[in-house]
């Protein structure tokens, strides 16, 4: 039974899956891929800025369906690549059930190296597409009027999350304008992840280490966060802690009482943190947590979740050993068609944090011993000047008395 009207579906490749009801004049400037399921034809329009990065793809790298149908001829000045094929063409698969007809195919983006180069700057991408046509109608002497229901395309895309670690002001509102500190100051850190159109995520600081150089494996070093989210720096004389509650699930804030490395000439430190995310609806556990040590109760306290998840901070028995931590970009296979590929972890470094008043700061501030020497020298100079002035004044008065005797 042929449908008598089309169904229009849009997909915002960079903005996520959006379901659009059929509107003849519908238009969205941010769409990267638009699919129209018409009565007997499939129309696919792909933006040349497919990934939203400003780097345009080549039309020759795009094909449709198992038979690799080529797009319509487009000019170099065109912003989009367009496919117009029959529902039964290009190897499209048809499945029929009691209630619907489903035409399924896929859009393949297979980038190839340019010229003699052997590198690629974009990823291969397979975008499954489905057109659903319900098999429901009213049979009478009148024209057949099918009953249409909304449907959506199923799309896989590769999306990289962007992780950040900022130095904040003590009001937590704006970023700190200068990386300079005095020893004993408190540094305010904000870790966050930009999720784009991804499902809601919860961010965790898995591990943090401070080093005198940019190399996070350098020696000496000091561990600030360990055991998958235990802020161990708060165990010592410091009051370092995670801030609760969070502003948003994708943001985590914490404070660190600053320090310097003993017997080390550098007046700066770098802090590198391993950040990771979980689904926002996943309950925190021993591997995904944010725990601070409370000196008043002598216990570990979570930012969210049950108190039991922090008990392992006391002996470091929180899952995988800390020494196995490293930057991992693990791409999970989708458990369903709504699952995306994401980079779920990253190492982020903030620094250098510069301490004023420490030897080696190249004139930012004088050391106490130098300042004392300068002040002592100035005092002696002033005293010598006063003494000389007194002598000169005394001689002047003596001469005046000698040449002008009092009658």
How do the domains of the chain map onto residue ranges? 7-156, 160-355
Q: Which residues share a beta bridge with 355?
A: 181
Residue 292 clears pLDDT 90, i.e. is over it: yes
Residue 184 clears pLDDT 60, i.e. is over it: yes
Q: State the CB neighbour count (10 A cutoff) for residue 364.
A: 13
Please state the φ and ψ torsions of residue 262, each to the nearest 5 degrees.
-65, 145
Q: What per-residue confidence (pLDDT) applies to 24?
A: 32
Cβ atoms of 391 and 398 closer than 8 Å: no
Query: What is the mean predicted confidence (pLDDT) over 380-403?
Result: 71
Residue 69 clears pLDDT 50, i.e. is over it: yes
Beta strands 341-343 and 158-160 are parallel
Percentage of residues in the chain having pLDDT higher than 70 = 68
Q: Tokens in use for 325?
A: 């931590």
pLDDT tens, 348-386?
A: 999 889 888 654 444 444 444 444 555 666 667 767 777
Of the candidate ranges 80-89, 105-114, 379-388, the one whose mean pLDDT is the lowest: 379-388
Residue 207 clears pLDDT 90, i.e. is over it: yes
Q: Which range has the top average pLDDT, 158-162, 185-189, 318-322, 382-386?
A: 185-189
The residue ranking higher by pLDDT, 319 or 129, is 129
396 burial level (CB within 10 Å; 0-12, 13-18, 19+): exposed
Query: What is the mean predicted confidence (pLDDT) over 52-69?
Result: 86
Closest CA to 89 of 161, 23, 38: 38
Of the candidate ranges 36-50, 95-109, 137-151, the one whose mean pLDDT is the lowest: 137-151
Question: Tell me, what DSSP letter sits at residue 233?
Answer: G
160-355: CATH number:
2.60.40.4100
3-state secondary structure of 257: strand
Q: What per-residue confidence (pLDDT) applies to 312?
A: 94
Cβ atoms of 193 and 269 closer than 8 Å: no
Query: What is the mean predicted confidence (pLDDT) over 143-155?
Result: 42
Place 26 in a pLDDT band, splitting at 50, 70 and 90: very low
Residue with tokens 């556990």: 285
Q: In CATH, which superfamily holds the domain spanning 7-156?
A: Zona pellucida, ZP-N domain (2.60.40.3210)
Query: What is the mean predicted confidence (pLDDT) over 205-232?
Result: 92
Please state the φ and ψ torsions of residue 59, each to the nearest 5 degrees.
-55, -30
Of the candidate ranges 195-204, 325-334, 382-391, the one whose mean pLDDT is the lowest: 325-334
Check for a shared fold between 7-156 and 160-355: yes
Q: What per-residue confidence (pLDDT) applies to 148?
A: 44
């Amino acid at each position: 039974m042929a449908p008598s009207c089309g169904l229009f579906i849009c997909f915002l490749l960079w903005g996520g899956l959006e379901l659009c009801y059929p509107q003849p004049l519908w238009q969205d400037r941010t769409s990267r891929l638009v699919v129209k399921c018409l009565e007997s034809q499939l129309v696919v329009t792909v933006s040349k800025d497919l990934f939203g990065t400003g780097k345009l793809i080549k039309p020759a790298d795009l094909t449709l369906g198992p038979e690799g149908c080529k797009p319509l001829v487009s000019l170099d000045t065109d912003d989009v690549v367009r496919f117009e094929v029959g529902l039964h063409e290009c190897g499209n698969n048809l499945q029929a059930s009691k209630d619907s007809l489903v035409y399924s195919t896929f859009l393949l983006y297979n980038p190839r190296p340019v010229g003699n180069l052997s590198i690629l700057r974009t990823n291969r991408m397979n975008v499954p597409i489905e057109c659903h046509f319900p098999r429901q109608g009213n049979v009478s002497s009148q024209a057949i009027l099918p009953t249409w229901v909304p449907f959506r395309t199923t799309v896989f895309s590769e999306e990289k999350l962007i992780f950040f670690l900022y130095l904040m002001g003590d009001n937590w509102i704006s970023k700190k304008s200068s990386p300079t500190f005095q020893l004993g100051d408190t540094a305010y850190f904000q870790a966050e992840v930009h999720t784009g159109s991804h499902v809601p995520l919860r961010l965790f600081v898995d591990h943090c280490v401070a080093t005198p150089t940019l190399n996070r494996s350098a020696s000496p070093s000091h561990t600030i966060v360990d055991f998958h989210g235990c802020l161990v720096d708060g165990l010592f004389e410091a009051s370092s802690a995670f801030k609760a509650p969070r502003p948003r699930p994708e943001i985590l804030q914490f404070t660190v009482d600053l320090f310097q490395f003993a017997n080390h000439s550098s007046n700066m430190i770098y802090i590198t943190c391993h950040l990771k995310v979980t689904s926002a609806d996943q309950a925190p556990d021993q591997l995904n947590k944010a725990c601070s040590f409370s000196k008043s109760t002598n216990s570990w306290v979570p930012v969210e979740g049950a108190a039991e998840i922090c008990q392992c901070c006391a002996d470091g028995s929180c899952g995988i050993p800390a020494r196995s931590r490293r930057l991992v970009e693990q791409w999970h296979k989708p458990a369903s068609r709504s699952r995306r590929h994401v980079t779920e972890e990253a190492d982020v470094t903030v620094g250098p944090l510069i301490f004023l008043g420490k030897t080696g700061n190249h004139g930012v501030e004088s050391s106490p011993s130098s300042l004392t020497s300068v002040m002592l020298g100035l005092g002696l100079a002033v005293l010598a000047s006063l003494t000389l002035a007194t002598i000169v004044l005394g001689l002047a008065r003596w001469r005046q008395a000698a040449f002008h005797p009092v009658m």
